[in-house]
Structure 1
Amino acid sequence: MIRVIGYDDRFSDGVVEVCNKCVSVDEPWTEKPWNLDDFRRVWLEWPTFNVENFGLALLNDRVVGYVFAIDDGGLWIGLCVDPDLDKYLALRTANELLSWCKYRIRDQGYSGRILIPLGWEYGYRHRLINEVLGHRIIHHVKTWLMKFQGEPTKSTPKVGEYKVCNDWRGREEDLVLIHNEAFRNEPFFQPVTVEMIERWFTSTRYGKPEVTLLYSQDGDPVGFVVYSIFKAFDGAYTGLVDTLAVRPKYQSKGLGKRLLLESIREMQDRTSRIILYVDEHNSRAIKLYGKVGFRAYRRVIRAVVT
């Protein structure tokens, strides 16, 4: 008998176990195993996370799935169901969790469109959630995973008179300015604040990321790249280019390429592979990454539903 309850800390270990099953069932080399500290630090302590919108699916007091809703400039719902369940139980669990979440957010007055990550295209979560949502999906948002297959980078090219800085402390306002200008025209854009930057750079589930900033000769903020190295499920180390941002007035000058190459140079001797994610519609970024040596590998899917 499947029952859905609100969040109960006694079941946190079970949540982490199911989470690790879900994220490792497809392409485990792209993910770091979660632990209880990750769960509490990244989810429960996140400023926009509301624990009242976190539901657990239990089967004989064992966690077999969870759902949560986060309003982070737009509502999105995360859903995970234990891949060890048979198809009937998995579909029933997903339906029960989504129904629970729907009533929670409806009681809070939300009635707009919702974004639901489905995971890898044609993977376990994509197939399961697609079958549950059916005609309620308005359209899919697709993101490419790209894998670096270029030559090792021994040095990074200098482009004009620009200065590199590897210490972001005290430069939070510069990071906010660069991020919000660089991404303001992107779908699902969410402006960041100084507080969000501080948390982002100290509390990611991949550990503390490394940051490289670029400034003009007179000290004007130009761009930044954020990257992380983590030990994946297969035991090898993966380098992740998290974010690459260049202010519009400095774009098309080779500066994004310089920042990207800088991150690759820093990661290549410490990792078995380097990856990044980019929205499918962002042809300009895909072209840049391709020139550097990244190749499209597999797509990640998100569904927009009503």
Structure 2
Amino acid sequence: MKPRQDSLLGQASEEELTACIRLLALNVVQHRSAGSFTSFRDSAEMLRPGSADPNKLDLIVGSRDVVEEALEVVRTIAAEKKPTEDEPEASAEERRKHLRISVTAPIKLIWPGEDTPTDARLQDISWGGAAIKVDKVRMASGDTLIVVIPGTNGQPIHIEAKYLRSWKMDDRGGEGLAVRFSSIATSDEDELEAVLQMLAQSGDSDGLRAHARLHQRLDLQFEGDELKASLEDISAGGLGVTVPEPLQIGQSLQAIISTFDEKHSLKLRARVVRQEKISMGKAELYQAGLKFEHPSEELAELTQALISKMARSGR
């Protein structure tokens, strides 16, 4: 819907609208961090040059994350269009890009602002997130917690996850919590995949609910110099790619990034945050934006190590 030209937003310049978005996002971050009301005027003081508040940098960075979070939600909703009369509605299994495995298992949660893990139980889990039963949800929308899952090797897997929604479990007591996995160490990624594979196979005697459906794999291959250039974007947390088939905004996938000879490669979790259809001649392709679901420090270390390795090998 286009804004009316005689409305306040319709009269605002692009610069004014951008400033409003920054102010709104900063105000949201301050609400979340303080747990109480913060006025727009107080938030605006943080944006003034020379503000001496020691928390300014953290809040500004957090506000950028809020804008990204809001934009992703808007794009995801826009992508989930209702089917037309000529387009039959897809089944739940077709719409879901991750195999969701029903399982009741004990896990641990570390709530925001706390250090001591609390007991919880998995209700189901997928490559992209989980549903969890807890006594009481102790976080708000937009907050991040740590999900601790037992690994197959005896070592726990720590996954950063974002609150999606919660609900009362009237018949059994307690509350349900749905989370989306947002960041995991690359050393834990293979272990999570092994856990999901084991759970999927144990839940299906013929073993057909399997590896290929745990997640979508995206193979991205580059010439040596192209890969070096792409690694700079990857280290910053994102990458733009062109693919022949559409992806789903919001889905998490496994990206295999390598040279054509596969001599140098990285395996990373990535989430689709934007997508646009483009035409190249008679062909229709899709430009997608990926955000990597690993700690930023680890991405920087991994990409720098690969660049050094490629330099030593002459590629």
Same fold flag (TM > 0.5): no
Higher relative contact order (CA 8 A, sep 6+): 1
Which TM-score applies when normalising by structure 1? 0.27
Which TM-score applies when normalising by structure 2? 0.26
